[in-house]
Structure 1
Amino acid sequence: MNQQHSTERQRAPRNRTLTCTKEEIESFAPQLIEEPVSLSVQEIEGRVIHGDTFAVLPTLPSGFVDLLVIDPPYNLSKNYNGHLFKEKEKGDYSKWFGSLVLKAKAILKPDATVYICSDWKTSVLIAPLLEKYFYVHNRITWEREKGRGAKSNWKNNTEDIWFCSNAKDYYFDVDAVKLKRKVIAPYRVNGKPKDWDEEEGGNYRLTHPSNIWSDISIPFWSMPENTDHPTQKPEKLIAKLILASTKEGDFVFDPFLGSGTTAVVAKKLHRRFSGIEQNLEYCCWALKRLRLADSDHEVQGYADGVFWERNSLSDQPKQKAPTGSVENLSLFDV
């Protein structure tokens, strides 16, 4: 198939969408690992593998992944920059996904955590397989507000993330993923705030995370993390998964890396990482984003060790985040 490079599009002057020129693609391509025969964990760490996931997974070492983030093609027809995934019959998609799970399961540590992205239709197909091969702990639903809606149906603006583990016991750090919310009706006891804090920028409460995420914005043209990938996940979303389910130095792996979000966030949060992507241009976007992450450690909407409610961080006084946190002093509070 002929691929229409995103660099050929005419963009508005303030559009910050990340692209690669033809020269950049030629420069980045040699840095990729082409479908490996057999490589060690040390050889793939911090690298992007260019190839087909089903062919690459069996060549990887066994039992090295602490966190597996799977964002596969959902069961619908979509063009991924020239790679067309066609909607399958329900049984055929289940077989396809089951084969993927079996291959991916081999690279997991015994106590590894797995997150699987899906839409509601695909969730119906994969849920029985997840129950078969993993311990299923929850289904996160996040608001993916995009699109103009449907004329004869409710607008579909949510996606699922299945939270699973390879064993009954698993790592989860709830304190690392608390959400900072504005307190609309502050309650006091003896004149003192109850379960909330008075701050210069307003009244706030730290809340435990739920399985409904309404504080996520998908990347758009004025955000520096944005690419032309049709199903790009936000860095803020992936940061929640990584912080909740890994410690610094753990290994994060993404077999459908796309434009590199999982790898980029893992790097920003000091985790080891690798991933597989079949599209060459997407691989190069990922490498460019990883290079930019050397000097830019920000994750939108995450600062001072907490996730901020949407449209609240921009109200805060500009100050340097404590050592070890990821500060966000961006104009785009998402």
Structure 2
Amino acid sequence: MVEINKIILTDAIPSIRSIESDSIDLIVTDPPYFVQAQGTGGGKNKWNGGSRFKGGNSVFGVENSQDKLFNYVNEKDYMSEFSRIINPSGHIYIFTNDKNLTRMINEAEKHKLKLMNILVVDKIQGTYFSYYQKQVEFILFFRSTKGKAKYINNCGMGNLFQYRYTRGKDKLHPSEKPLELIEKLILQSSNEGDIIFDPFAGSGTTAIACAKNNRNFICYELEEKYVNIANKRLKNYGYSE
């Protein structure tokens, strides 16, 4: 039996297999995809495929980020499982960037997840890049095709959002997302009492959004440091470790 309303310290990929089929009402997640170090030219930009960043001054607004280690997860490792565990009318939101967008869509559609829209988040402040600053992030919005399509709760909402992302020393996690943004997605595609899944929970923003809005959650996180941060945040909403 998978525990709910707890940040679980585990490797998401093998752990997803223990979740019952069709049991998750909504998936909201920001997987660790390929990212590019923000260099200043001269051939310093390098792809991160689970290795240390080479060159550049900051990634995601984190100073000295070339010392941060990110483990890249291939979308082939989780898309089939997302399709299996999502309920027949469930929605899935996956954060990505321009470099990974097409590949993620292609892989999702292999597993009968239908792309309904691409949401764009204007982060207001750009991240340095030699060929125009990176100022937007994408959210791929899929639905399961196992059952009848379900509408979002507010069909009049546009697909362009604007949120200022936390930067520098105030960040709890290198790829931290604004709480209000995650809340918006959860409120659009779930109801009170639903089970929301985030296999790459980071500092627990999805869990916090669920706790604030009477949703249940299953959250996995690989790094103990961030599990501790997430659990500390959850204590403010009456949850214990």
How many angstroms does 1:233 deviate by? Answer: 0.8
CA contact (8 A) 2:128 2:134 kept: yes
- Report the equivalent of 1:140: 119
Q: 1:272 aligns with which of 187, 203, 216?
A: 216
Q: 1:162 aligns with which of 113, 126, 140?
A: 140
Using CA pairs below 8 Å that are at least 6 residues apart, which structure has the higher relative contact order? 2
- 1:118 equivalent to 2:93? Answer no
- Report the equivalent of 2:165: 218
Mapped partners of 1:84, 1:270: distance in 2: 32
How many angstroms does 1:146 deviate by? Answer: 3.9
| Partner AA of 2:215 in structure 1 | R
Mapped partners of 2:221, 2:152: distance in 1: 28
How many angstroms does 1:101 deviate by? Answer: 0.7
Q: SS at the partner of 2:8? A: strand
Mapped partners of 1:273, 1:173: distance in 2: 19
Q: Go from structure 1 to structure 2 and tell me whether the alpha carbon gap of 1:47 and 1:130 turns closer, same or farther (over 3 Å shift).
A: same
Query: Normalization by structure 1: what TM-score?
Result: 0.58
- Report the equivalent of 2:71: 85
How many angstroms does 1:105 deviate by? Answer: 2.3
CA contact (8 A) 2:118 2:138 kept: yes
| Partner AA of 1:282 in structure 2 | Y
- Report the equivalent of 2:186: 242
- 1:74 equivalent to 2:33? Answer yes
Mapped partners of 1:227, 1:212: distance in 2: 24
| Partner AA of 2:101 in structure 1 | S
CA contact (8 A) 1:227 1:259 kept: no
Deviation sequence 1:40-97 (CA, Å, 0-9, x none): 4xxx1111111111111112222211000121012122769964325xxxxxx7xx21
- Report the equivalent of 2:38: none
How many angstroms does 1:147 deviate by? Answer: 5.0
| Partner AA of 1:52 in structure 2 | D
- Report the equivalent of 1:328: none
How many angstroms does 1:228 deviate by? Answer: 2.9
Mapped partners of 1:108, 1:254: distance in 2: 12
Mapped partners of 1:279, 1:82: distance in 2: 13
- Report the equivalent of 2:229: 285
Mapped partners of 1:289, 1:73: distance in 2: 22
Which has the higher Rg, Structure 1 or Structure 2? 1
| Partner AA of 2:227 in structure 1 | C
Mapped partners of 1:162, 1:71: distance in 2: 10
Q: SS at the partner of 2:32? A: coil
Structure 1 unaligned residues grouped into runs of 5+: 1-38, 87-92, 176-207, 296-334
Q: Go from structure 1 to structure 2 and tell me whether the alpha carbon gap of 1:171 and 1:66 turns closer, same or farther (over 3 Å shift).
A: farther
Mapped partners of 1:74, 1:120: distance in 2: 11
Equivalent residue pairs, number: 209
- Report the equivalent of 2:152: 172
Deviation sequence 1:119-164 (CA, Å, 0-9, x none): 01110221212233211110001012345533x3110111100111
Q: Which has the higher strand share?
A: 2
CA contact (8 A) 2:127 2:135 kept: no
Mapped partners of 1:221, 1:54: distance in 2: 30
Q: How large is the RMSD of aligned CA atoms in angstroms?
A: 2.4
Mapped partners of 2:236, 2:227: distance in 1: 14
Query: Normalization by structure 2: what TM-score?
Result: 0.79
Q: SS at the partner of 1:144? A: strand
Mapped partners of 2:98, 2:150: distance in 1: 26
- Report the equivalent of 2:5: 46
Mapped partners of 1:218, 1:128: distance in 2: 28
| Partner AA of 1:65 in structure 2 | I
